[in-house]
Amino acid sequence: MKILIGITGCIALYKVAELVSSLRKSGNELKIVMTQSAEKLVSKDLFSAVGNCEVYSDSNAFEIKNGFIPHTELSKWPDVFVVAPATANTIAKIAHGIADNLLTMVCLAHDGNKKLLVPAMNYRMYENAATQANLQILRDRGWWILEPSVGHLACGEFGKGRYPENELVREAIEILNSEKPLKDMKLLITAGPTWESIDPVRIISNRSSGKMGYELAKMAVRLGATVTLISGPTNLSVPHFVNEFIRVESAQQMFDAVTKKFDQMDAVIMAAAVADYTPIDISKSKIKKDSDELNIPLKKTIDILKYLGERKKDKILVGFAVETDSLEEYAKEKMVKKNLDMIIANKAEAMGNDQNNVIIFKRDGIVKRVGPDEKGRIALAILSELAELWNRS
């Protein structure tokens, strides 16, 4: 990916050095344009070193060599154009077509639709009606405005104006640069294990980490879907830019949350490892260790996937099969029995790991083997098959 980064004179620009470094390490090709105010705070050499790239500033604005006109050539070069951090002054200039430095000249000449603006400033400057009006102008012209965070600011005050975490900025760049085969799809994804309470301190659960479902949610957002993620208990951070995140604990809570949202969705991916059994009675007090044996009567939980399959109509329904034996046989049987459009079969040892090795079965007989690979790339392969079903329907 070719990324052009415009850096303005905000104290938060020191954080952009880490952004530049991480983007370079990910294999992206970078170019940087700094304003005069930014140069007063940090040297061009620092960004050139961490980004292994050319850094331009006002001193280069009219260095025309062999037909290379800096502002026009730079404006045509990137796949994604990012201004970070963006001061109130630069935001105002871009909004009103003022081109009095190299960066604003590039902004005026750039006619791409993959452009990201990351404001950072004092909260009163950010909330000022003039700044908000300028940001709305830029939104209307196709800029993605990444809202600043709320927190302690460099000036010592507290409020909304803090430069967001670079992880968020990197994900926004990935979303901008990704194709959108799932555009307009409303997609529900479930993830993680469920906890079935025995008493106030003990549970029945499984080894699911939730990583597969969370990667599916992250990648689906990149591909243009509006994603609702319903998750059992995990230690994972909520994927950035999902439309809605719902945390549940038990199989019954998972069922209630899924069925409440089901009618609003175009597709559902049931990646959660929902418990098959739950205790008949939950002790209100901690069970004491008084005997050598403890018998806990269990009852079946509601089969969410089967329930959805009986009611799905024209919705796309995707399930997972986790087995220790006869994986392919059980997966194909489950797909038919539960009326699925697609099922992803993986062995039990993949649970909790960062990598997976799956077989994708579709109702039309197509079989695709993916992996071993990282779960992010496995998720992309699954979503590619989902996109094929979506665009066919």
DSSP string, 13-77: HHHHHHHHHHHHHTT-EEEEEE-HHHHHHS-HHHHHHHHTSEEE-GGGTT--BTTB-HHHHHHHS
Sort strands 196-197 and 186-191 into parallel, antiparallel or unpaired. unpaired
CB 53 within 8 A of CB 46: no
Distance between CA atoms of 314 and 296, rounded to whole angstroms? 41
Q: What pLDDT does 101 receive?
A: 96
Residues marked active site are found at 155
DSSP character for 273? B
3-class secondary structure per residue, the chain: CEEEEEECCCCCHHHHHHHHHHHHHCCCEEEEEECHHHHHHCCHHHHHHHHCCEEECHHHCCCCECCECHHHHHHHCCCEEEEEEECHHHHHHHHCCCCCCHHHHHHHHCCCCCEEEEECCCHHHHHCHHHHHHHHHHHHCCCEECCCEEEECCCCCEEEEECCCHHHHHHHHHHHHCCCCCCCCEEEEEECECCEECCCCCEECCCCCCHHHHHHHHHHHHCCCEEEEEECCCCCCCCCCCCEEEECCCHHHHHHHHHHHHCCCCEEEECCECCCEEECCCCCCCCCCCCCCCCCCEEECCCHHHHHHCCCCCCEEEEEEEECCCHHHHHHHHHHHCCCCEEEEEEHHHCCCCEEEEEEEECCCCEEEEEEEEHHHHHHHHHHHHHHHHHHC
Q: What pLDDT does 323 receive?
A: 83
Distance between CA atoms of 133 and 257, rounded to whole angstroms? 38
At 74-83, the pLDDT tens digits run: 999 999 999 9
Domain with CATH 3.40.50.10300 in the chain: 186-392
Cis-peptide, bond into residue 372, ω within 30° of zero: yes
Domain 2-177 belongs in CATH node 3.40.50.1950: yes
Q: What pLDDT does 197 receive?
A: 96
Q: Which residues of the chain have pLDDT under 50?
A: none
Q: What pLDDT does 161 receive?
A: 85
What amino acid is encoded at 179 in this protein? E
Question: Which pair of structure tokens corresponds to residue 248?
Answer: 């549940």
Question: 186-392 adopts what CATH topology?
Answer: Rossmann fold (3.40.50)
CB 172 within 8 A of CB 198: no
Distance between CA atoms of 225 and 202, rounded to whole angstroms? 37
Q: What pLDDT does 88 receive?
A: 97
Q: What pLDDT does 379 receive?
A: 96
Domain with CATH 3.40.50.1950 in the chain: 2-177
What amino acid is encoded at 340 in this protein? L
At 200-234, the pLDDT tens digits run: 999 999 989 999 999 999 999 999 999 999 999 99
Helix (H) or strand (E) holding 252: helix 251-262
